[in-house]
C-alpha cells in the first residue's frame, strides 16, 4: 500500500496542496490544510512539469467537509494542528488524513490515522519549499475494508468481488501496527516521502 501511494504521488496522480495558516518559524504553533488537487487543465495541456515551481492547480471538492459549511466557507477535511517550524525543522500532526488512491480502474478512498509529517523548510517567513519531507501513519484493516465496501460492485469484478479484493490486499500487505494496544496487529503502516514547491490555486476541479 505504501509503495502504491508513493508511486501515485511521484507520478502526479495524487496531488497534495498545502495551505498554511499564520505560518511561524520560531517554534510557535500554527496549522495548515492539505487539499486534494489536480493539475490545472491549461498547464496539463501545455505539458507543464509538475516537479517545477510556479504551476497552477485546481482543488477537488472532496477536500472539504461539505456538511459543515457556513458563511465563511467549508472547512478542509485534513487539518494539521499543531504544526511547528524551528530552525527549518517542520513537524506536524493530524488524527485523520484522507486521500484517494487509483488502483487499476478503481479508486480507493483511504483514511490514514495518527499521521505525523516532518521535513525541512528553507523559505524564511513564508512557507513554499520543503525538502526531505515524510508523512507517516497507518490504515486500519477496518478502514481499508470499508474503502473496498464503498466501491461499486461492477468495478471490483475484475478482482473476483469485494471479499476477494480484501483477501488480495491482506495477502500483499501485512498488518504491522497494533492501533489500539490490544496485542493484535490490526493496521498497515504507511510512509510517504515528499517535497513541496510554490504553486497557485486556479479554481475548483470539474
Residue with cell 504553486: 199
C-alpha cell at 88: 527549518
C-alpha cell recorded at residue 2: 505504501
Phi, psi for residue 71 in degrees, rounded to 5: -60, -25
DSSP-H helix ranges across 28-83: 41-45
How many Cα atoms occupy the beta-carbon half-sphere of 60 within 13 Å? 18
pTM: 0.86
Q: Which three cell numbers stand for residue 78?
A: 485534513
Do 108 and 169 form a contact (C-beta atoms < 8 A)? no
Q: What is the pLDDT of residue 158?
A: 85
Helices 162-172 and 141-149, interaxial angle, to 10°? 150
Angle at 191 between CA 186 and CA 193, to 5 degrees: 170
Burial of 199 (0-12, 13-18, 19+ CB in 10 A): buried
Q: Of 53, 13, 54, nearest to 36 (Cα)?
A: 13
Burial bucket for residue 76 (CB in 10 Å: 0-12, 13-18, 19+) = buried
Radius of gyration over every alpha carbon of the chain, rounded to an integer in angstroms? 18
At 33 the pLDDT is 97
Angle CA 129–131–112, to nearest 5? 100
pLDDT value of residue 11: 59
| pLDDT for the residue numbered 1 | 53
The three cell numbers of residue 29 are: 504553533
Query: What is the predicted pLDDT for the residue at 121?
Result: 94
Q: Which three cell numbers stand for residue 147?
A: 474503502
CA 86 to centroid of chain Cα atoms: 24
The pLDDT assigned to 8 comes to: 54
For each successive 10 residues of the chain (206 residues), what is the average pLDDT?
Answer: 58 80 93 95 93 93 94 95 95 94 77 97 88 95 94 88 90 91 95 92 92
Amino acid at each position: 500500500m505504501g509503495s502504491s501511494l508513493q508511486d501515485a504521488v511521484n507520478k502526479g496522480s495524487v496531488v497534495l496542496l498545502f495551505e498554511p495558516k499564520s505560518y511561524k518559524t520560531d517554534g510557535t504553533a500554527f496549522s495548515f490544510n492539505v487539499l486534494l488537487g489536480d493539475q490545472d487543465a491549461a498547464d496539463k495541456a501545455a505539458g507543464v512539469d509538475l516537479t517545477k515551481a510556479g504551476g497552477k492547480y485546481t482543488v477537488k471538492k472532496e477536500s472539504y467537509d461539505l456538511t459543515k459549511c457556513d458563511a465563511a466557507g467549508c472547512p478542509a477535511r485534513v487539518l494539521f494542528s499543531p504544526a511547528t517550524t524551528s530552525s527549518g525543522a517542520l513537524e506536524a500532526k493530524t488524527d485523520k488524513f484522507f486521500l484517494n488512491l487509483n488502483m487499476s480502474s478503481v479508486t480507493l478512498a483511504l483514511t490514514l490515522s495518527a499521521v505525523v509529517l516532518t521535513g525541512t523548510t528553507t523559505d524564511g517567513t513564508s512557507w513554499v519549499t520543503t525538502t526531505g519531507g515524510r508523512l507517516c501513519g497507518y490504515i486500519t484493516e477496518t478502514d481499508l475494508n470499508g474503502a473496498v465496501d464503498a466501491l461499486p460492485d461492477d468495478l471490483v469484478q475484475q478482482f473476483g468481488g469485494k471479499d476477494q479484493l480484501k483477501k488480495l490486499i491482506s495477502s500483499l500487505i501485512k498488518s504491522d501496527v497494533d492501533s489500539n494496544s490490544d496485542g493484535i496487529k490490526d493496521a498497515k503502516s504507511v510512509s510517504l516521502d515528499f517535497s513541496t514547491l510554490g504553486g497557485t490555486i486556479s479554481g475548483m476541479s470539474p
